[in-house]
């Protein structure tokens, strides 16, 4: 799978995952791999660049959880603005998918 197709939707994917529950980076990475049956894996550098962008834009916030085996984990939580942005991108995706389906369905 060409990762550039998904790359434009990483913000939405990550927002969706932190909307379900607060999560830390490695957990998000593993969840993406799990849900895609390892067809898509996000690189650590890419993941943290997305976190920076989302936090800078006020779509997520971060906090340190309690100490775990390796130290304190940095968790991410979605903000009210992030929820509104995600809802908007879901609607955009539905329209985009309909348009692409018009041209791609029925091809084998």
pLDDT tens for the 108 residues of the chain, in order = 566 777 788 999 999 999 999 999 999 999 999 999 999 999 999 999 999 999 999 999 999 987 667 678 999 999 999 999 999 999 999 998 899 999 988 776
Q: Using DSSP, state whether 1 is helix, strand or coil.
A: coil
Domain around 98: 3-104
Q: Please give the distance of CA 62 from its chain centroid, rounded to a whole number.
A: 15
- Using CA atoms, how far residue 77 sits from 13, 24, 45, 101, in Å, is 13, 9, 19, 33
- Using CA atoms, how far residue 34 sits from 30, 42, 96, in Å, is 6, 11, 25
Write the CATH number for 65: 1.10.10.10
Q: In total, how many domains does the chain have? A: 1
């Amino acid at each position: 799978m060409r990762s550039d197709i998904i790359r434009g939707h990483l913000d939405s994917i990550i927002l969706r995952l932190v909307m379900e529950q607060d999560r830390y980076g490695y957990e998000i990475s593993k969840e993406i791999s799990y849900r895609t049956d390892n067809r898509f894996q996000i690189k650590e550098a890419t993941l943290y660049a997305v976190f920076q962008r989302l936090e800078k834009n006020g779509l997520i916030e971060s906090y340190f959880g309690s100490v775990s085996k390796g130290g304190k984990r940095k968790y991410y939580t979605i903000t009210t603005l992030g929820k509104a942005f995600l809802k908007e991108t879901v609607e955009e995706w539905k329209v985009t998918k309909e348009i692409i389906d018009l041209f791609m369905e029925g091809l084998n």
